[in-house]
Chain A
Amino acid sequence: MARRLINCTINGDPTDFLVEDGDSLLDALRNEVGLTGVKEGCGTGDCGACSVLLNDRVTCSCLVFAPEAEGATITTVEGLADGDHLHPLQECFLEGAALQCGVCTPGFLVAAKALLDHNPNPTETEVRFGLAGNLCRCTGYDKIVRAVLEAAAQMREANV
């Protein structure tokens, strides 16, 4: 079967790529667009390593068929930094050592961004529930939760 041409906007840039109809968005982003910050963990929507923003909503890209991306706006972890200037979440993850092996980190960063976009001043409990769709098998979650709370505080201060 002929491959299908998909046009969408990824990290602010108009992008097109070719897919098979049954491909996942995860595979298309990694293999066709070269955005390897999107990680494959479970492949069944349990671990959140493949989290992206699809039309500003956090979604597991492993549970999206690639043709669904037609016309969509997608943000991956590669789109969080502003050039060489890291996003406050990325800075706080680094400062707080909120990662070890790092495979889960892109998904956590994207999910945390979605959380703070909708709730700039979350409680610890809200952060823990908001990130319940992301699994980390190295750090435990305390450093991640603290990094997100710290980033939220910095972002609120910057917006004052």
Chain B
Amino acid sequence: MRYFAPTTVDEAVGLLAESPGRKVFAGATDVIPQMRAGRPEPDGLIDLKHIDRLMGVRRTATGWVIGAATPTSQLTGNAELVAEFPGLCEGAGLIGSDQIQNRSSLGGNLCNASPAADSVPAMVVNGMRAVIATGGGTRTVAVEDVPAGPGRTSLAPGEFIVEFELDSAPANTGDAYLRLIPRTEMDIAVVGAGVRITLDGSGTCTAATVALGAVAPTVVRVPEAEAALVGSTIDAAALDAVAAAASAACNPIDDKRGTIAYRRHVAGVLAKRAVNIAAERARNRAGGTPSSNGGSH
């Protein structure tokens, strides 16, 4: 196996094109355990962390750009990003220990394509887009269109994600991410729920996105829950409809972390709770106070 450390996107594209046996990596927190578990060793590994564009959290005129290989500790350590998108930072901050946080990245979490990837539902509800390097330049797709199934993405051979685009949140908007694991820390989600809510001045919901992780082969949007929220004041009837829709949207597996029935039930509970947190943050925004940071755990 050979190690490459290109410093430009074009150089990385060229290195990938030279041999189909090469892979890109950022923090290696998935690729090394996979090699140790017996997956075929790539004949070349391309380290993306020396390419400036893939590293860092940058403000733009219209929002944010997050380099695909940026360690997630740089997201949770960015007070402005945490204030504007606490839910996104909650999801990103749940990927493993502090040791892992200093290596794990949004690009890696998305492209490893685990159904339980903690950053993905929050990326989806915030409408994030992935800018993908191809042979002939870049193309931009919605994050929710990247995962294709467990361990599979819609990226073509030779492509990799350069950065993520995140538009500034509209006024009176809040996001949240919750996950259930059997212990307090350091485990893989049984269910993850990401929610984003926008309210008008009177507290009526004008926009809502709900996405679930770990309950289907890929992250799933729950349009029925979103429809139940829009036009409501996030009242009890709307919350019950969210829970029912979230449970119905699941297509989970039975495994050691939870049964199908348990995952369905928990998806409804978590979706409802995440709606309440996101709505509370949206109300606080309306009052001009920044959303509270739920912390990185």
* Given A63-B28, A133-B97, residue A44 in contact with residue B3 (CB < 8 A): no
Residues of B within 8 A of A (CB-CB), count: 28
The CA-CA distance from A134 to B184 in the complex, in Å, is 14
Among candidates B33, B49, B98, residue contacting A130 with C-beta atoms closer than 8 Å: B98
Q: Does A124 contact B (CB under 8 A)?
A: no
Q: How far is the CB of B41 from chain A (nearest CB, A)?
A: 7
The CA-CA distance from A129 to B100 in the complex, in Å, is 13
Q: Are A133 and B2 in contact (CB under 8 A)?
A: no
B residues less than 8 Å from A130 (CB atoms): 98
Q: Does A17 contact B (CB under 8 A)?
A: no
Q: Does B84 contact A (CB under 8 A)?
A: no
The CA-CA distance from A67 to B36 in the complex, in Å, is 18
Q: Does A111 contact B (CB under 8 A)?
A: yes
Among candidates B41, B99, B185, residue contacting A58 with C-beta atoms closer than 8 Å: B99
Q: Are B99 and A133 in contact (CB under 8 A)?
A: yes
Q: Are A22 and B186 in contact (CB under 8 A)?
A: no
Q: Does B276 contact A (CB under 8 A)?
A: no
The CA-CA distance from A51 to B100 in the complex, in Å, is 10
Q: How far is the CB of B70 from chain A (nearest CB, A)?
A: 13
Among candidates A24, A60, A114, residue contacting B100 with C-beta atoms closer than 8 Å: A60
B-contact 0/1 string along A121-159, CB 8 Å cutoff: 000000001101110000000000000000000000000
Q: Are B103 and A63 in contact (CB under 8 A)?
A: yes
B residues less than 8 Å from A70 (CB atoms): 5
Q: Does A32 contact B (CB under 8 A)?
A: no
Among candidates B5, B41, B47, residue contacting A22 with C-beta atoms closer than 8 Å: B41
Chain A residue nearest to B296 in the complex (CB): A129
B residues less than 8 Å from A46 (CB atoms): 186
Q: Are A111 and B99 in contact (CB under 8 A)?
A: yes
Query: Which B residues from 262 to 297 make CB contacts under 8 A with A?
Result: 297
Query: Which A residues from 39 to 65 make CB contacts under 8 A with B?
Result: 43-46, 48, 51, 54, 57-60, 62-65
A residues less than 8 Å from B261 (CB atoms): none
The CA-CA distance from A48 to B27 in the complex, in Å, is 16
- Nearest 3 CB-CB pairings of A with B: A133-B97, A21-B3, A44-B33
- Enumerate chain A interface residues (CB-CB to B < 8 A): 1, 4, 21-22, 24, 43-46, 48, 51, 54, 57-60, 62-65, 67-68, 70, 111, 114-115, 129-130, 132-134
Q: A63-B103, A68-B47 are in contact. List 7 more A-B contacts (CB 8 A).
A: A22-B3, A44-B37, A48-B97, A48-B99, A67-B3, A68-B49, A111-B98
A–B pairs, 28, beta carbons within 8 Å: A4-B3, A21-B1, A21-B2, A24-B32, A43-B33, A44-B32, A45-B33, A45-B100, A54-B102, A57-B102, A59-B99, A63-B29, A64-B103, A65-B32, A65-B45, A68-B47, A68-B49, A111-B98, A111-B99, A115-B98, A132-B185, A132-B186, A133-B96, A133-B97, A133-B99, A133-B100, A133-B186, A134-B97
